[in-house]
């Protein structure tokens, strides 16, 4: 049985929790290391650049989500404002990019929980989170609320230990860093900020979406920026840019270098909890976009089924979970982050172009917001590592080719 709509159960607090849960785990425990390697001592500048672009994207997305409060996010906005192809390309970019993000989060769980068996742990994490999501969005939101609370408590302790502990282990990055490195780091950090999209893609399940979605996006983004800045300053103070860029567990090493090695296992547990929270919220968003694309027959129609009891798109959840598990078993963490960043920046480029077409009566944002957002997405995307750019272009081209073939058959 295919249900035309899902029930609106999520309020402001739940929506903020889902967005914050997506951002905090990804940014702190995955993206800081490659970003520090690219930007060196200019990491905080890169964080500011990423935040400005994310703010523009958030405001454009919020206005569009209020106007189109249904599942699908920019897939729907691009289709309605720019045409079917652009909506499809946004949806394709989101699904493939965020599928890679899910794999990155699963690998982060494995790297912190059991480094020697990281891939096995990653696959088991995907299975567990997919099971939770299939049981209903309210259960997912409750789990995310608990995870966010634990994560923020651990990060607050990390900041305190690092700021008031020893700072003698700080080392600078050996290589010089130019403007390209700063922009590349901003693109990698954007991977972390993209969590507010989960709120928009859950638009069909949010109560009073015209008010709730824009407000939840702004709150979640602001809270995430405060957390990122505090943790980045604390880690740089103890490890320096060189130490932060070295290894997969910088925050655990930071508290040890600051003189609190006994707290390191707690940080590892916090990393596992945070990455699991991000994985849970990311899988929610990808499955909802898959649902929207299946409804329009850009993906198999069988994926458009909403479970009559749990009121979630279980088939989409199961398929996405299976694909993520395969990627987590075979992919490299940093490559997954780079590819995901490129695909999601394309997604938000289309979101900003869509917002630029809004009229005053439709609640358009100030003109500079979608313009700066679109330019920022383009620049950050093209300054990512070359492998990520080429892979991203190739995967998007495959999606465009599939669309062209299907359009030709229908014609």
Query: Strands, E, within 65-107: which ranges?
Result: none
Query: pTM to 2 decimals?
Result: 0.86
Q: What pLDDT does residue 274 have?
A: 84
Q: From first to last of its 411 residues, what are the pLDDT tens digits of the chain?
A: 444 455 676 788 888 887 787 777 666 877 888 999 999 989 999 999 999 999 899 889 888 988 887 767 888 899 999 999 999 999 999 889 989 999 999 998 998 888 889 899 999 999 999 998 887 755 566 777 788 888 899 999 999 999 999 998 888 876 767 899 999 999 999 888 877 666 766 666 778 877 887 788 888 888 988 999 999 999 999 999 999 988 777 888 899 999 999 999 999 999 998 888 788 878 887 888 888 888 888 888 899 988 777 778 889 999 999 999 999 999 888 889 999 999 999 999 999 999 999 999 998 899 999 999 999 999 999 999 999 999 999 999 999 999 998 887 765
- Rounded CA-CA distance 225/44 in Å is 11
DSSP state of 405: H
Query: For residue 102, what are its two tokens?
Result: 């899910």
For the four alpha carbons of 344, 110, 152 and 169, in that order, the dihedral sign comes to: negative
The answer to whether residues 75 and 289 touch, using CB atoms and an 8 Å cutoff, is: yes
Residue 200: its pLDDT value, please? 67
Closest CA to 291 of 70, 81, 93, 21: 70
The rounded distance, in Å, linking the Cα atoms of 110 and 113 is 5
Q: What is the pLDDT of residue 380?
A: 97
pLDDT score, position 2:
45
C-alpha–C-alpha distance, residues 337 and 106, integer Å: 12
Secondary structure class of 13 (helix, strand, coil): helix
What is the CATH number assigned to the segment(s) 12-404?
1.20.1740.10
For the chain, the domains span 12-404
pLDDT of res. 201? 62
d(C-alpha 406, C-alpha 100), whole Å: 25
The contacts of residue 292 (CB under 8 Å, 6+ apart) are: 70, 71, 72, 73, 75, 76, 91
Q: Do the beta carbons of residue 57 and residue 373 sit within 8 Å?
A: yes
Give the number of other CB atoms < 10 A from CB of residue 69: 21
């Amino acid at each position: 049985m295919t249900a035309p709509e899902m029930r609106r159960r999520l309020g402001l607090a739940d929506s903020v929790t889902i967005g914050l849960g997506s951002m905090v785990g990804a940014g702190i425990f995955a993206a800081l290391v490659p970003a520090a390697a690219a930007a060196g001592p200019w990491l905080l500048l890169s964080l500011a650049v990423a935040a400005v672009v994310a703010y523009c994207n958030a405001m454009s997305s919020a206005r569009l989500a209020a106007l189109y409060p249904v599942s699908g996010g920019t897939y729907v906005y691009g289709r309605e404002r720019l045409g079917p192809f652009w909506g499809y390309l946004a949806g394709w970019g989101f699904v493939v990019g965020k599928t890679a993000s899910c794999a990155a989060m699963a690998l982060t769980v494995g790297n912190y929980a059991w480094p020697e068996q990281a891939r096995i742990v990653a696959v088991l994490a995907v299975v567990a989170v997919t099971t939770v999501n299939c049981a209903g969005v309210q259960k997912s939101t409750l789990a995310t609320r608990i995870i966010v609370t634990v994560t923020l408590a651990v990060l607050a302790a990390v900041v305190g230990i690092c700021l008031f502990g020893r700072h003698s282990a700080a080392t600078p990055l050996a290589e010089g860093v130019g403007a390209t490195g700063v922009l590349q780091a901003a693109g990698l950090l954007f991977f972390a900020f993209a969590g507010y999209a989960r709120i928009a893609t859950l638009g069909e399940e949010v109560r009073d979406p015209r008010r709730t979605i824009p407000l939840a996006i702004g709150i979640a983004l602001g809270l995430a920026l405060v957390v990122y800045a505090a943790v980045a300053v604390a880690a740089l103070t103890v490890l320096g840019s060189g130490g932060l860029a070295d290894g997969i567990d910088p925050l655990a090493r930071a508290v040890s270098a600051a003189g609190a090695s006994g707290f390191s296992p707690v940080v590892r547990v916090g990393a596992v909890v945070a990455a699991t929270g991000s994985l849970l919220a990311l899988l929610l968003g990808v499955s909802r976009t898959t649902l929207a694309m299946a409804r329009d027959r850009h993906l198999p129609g069988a994926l458009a089924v909403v479970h009559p009891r749990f009121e979630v798109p279980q088939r989409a959840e199961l398929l996405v979970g299976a694909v993520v598990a395969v990627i987590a078993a075979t992919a490299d963490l940093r490559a997954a982050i780079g590819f995901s960043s490129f695909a999601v920046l394309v997604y938000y480029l289309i979101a900003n172009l869509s917002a630029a077409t809004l009229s005053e009566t439709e609640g358009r944002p100030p003109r500079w917001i979608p313009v700066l957002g679109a330019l920022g997405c383009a620049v950050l995307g093209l300054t990512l590592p070359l492998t990520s750019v080429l892979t991203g272009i190739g995967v998007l081209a495959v999606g465009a080719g599939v669309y062209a073939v299907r359009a030709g058959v229908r014609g």
